[in-house]
Amino acid sequence: MGIVHFLNVKNGDCSIIEHATGHVSIIDVCNAYEESPLMFALDEALAELAKADGLRGNFDQKNHPVNPLAYLRQHGISDIFRFILTHPDMDHMDGLKALCAAFPPTNFWDTDNKKEIDFGQGSPYKEADWLYYKSIRNGNLTNGPHHLALYDGASGKYWNRSETDNGGDGLHILAPTRRLLSDAKSSDDYNDSSYVIVYWSAGGRVLFAGDSHDDTWEHILKNHADDVRDVDLLIAPHHGRKSVT
């Protein structure tokens, strides 16, 4: 059975799937950075203390976010088979360069977008992450990950089809479609080009929704209603915030 980790990463997203096949997928990243050895040791000690004491509760978690790099190391994860960027917003790729330097992914799922960002003063995000992402998107990295831009219904070895056709890693793409991506390019609003992915495992179904909007969900309800009906867990669009209409 696979294991899914949902990380507390400020106002962004980061989920880790340890697939039953042994592969590891990361969907989006935020708050990733290299820590000093002292901070890393402190994080490990606090994690062990919480585990030993059986601590439970909220504990003001929003003010104490997780660093995905430290989290991966604490859980003995050293290889990333695929990184999935649901869409090109900075709160979904904050710390991307550090993540890829520490844990170079074999595959990088992206969308065929043309987004540009003008970094001004006061941005909470690092322009270096954006430039690194563009180098992956544009194929400018000599030893970069295998870059894929996939669409609704895509079937392939390892993500939902193995060598014996038994489901691979259980990742099923419901969006985007080529039309949704074309519309996103025209409007320069890439939320409706987000990946929406159902992860099927022996333990149930988890639906990852990126920052998808109404057009995406009209498509899904028309074409994939059975896939999303009664899912076990929904990772809601826009982090579930109420300000989204």
pLDDT at 156: 93
- Rounded CA Rg of the chain: 18
Q: What is the pLDDT of residue 241?
A: 67
More confident site: 225 or 10: 225
Closest CA to 215 of 183, 187, 238, 192: 192
pLDDT of residue 82: 98
Q: What is the pLDDT of residues 199-227, one digit of tens each?
A: 999 899 999 999 999 999 999 999 999 99
User: pLDDT-derived band of residue 60, with 50, 70 and 90 as boundaries?
Assistant: low
Contact 190, 161 (CB under 8 A): no
- CA 205 – CA 234 distance, rounded (Å): 9
Whole-number percent of the chain with pLDDT over 90: 76
CA 126 to mean position of chain CA atoms: 18
Q: How far is CA 34 from the centre of its chain?
A: 19
- Residue percentage of the chain with pLDDT more than 70: 85
Kindly indicate the confidence band of residue 162, based on its pLDDT and cuts at 50, 70 and 90. confident
Question: Which overall architecture, per CATH, does domain 3-239 show?
Answer: 4-Layer Sandwich (3.60)
CA distance readout (Å), 153 to 111, 150, 171, 173: 14, 9, 10, 6
62 or 72, which is more confident:
72
Question: What is the per-residue pLDDT for 239?
Answer: 76
Domain ranges of the chain: 3-239
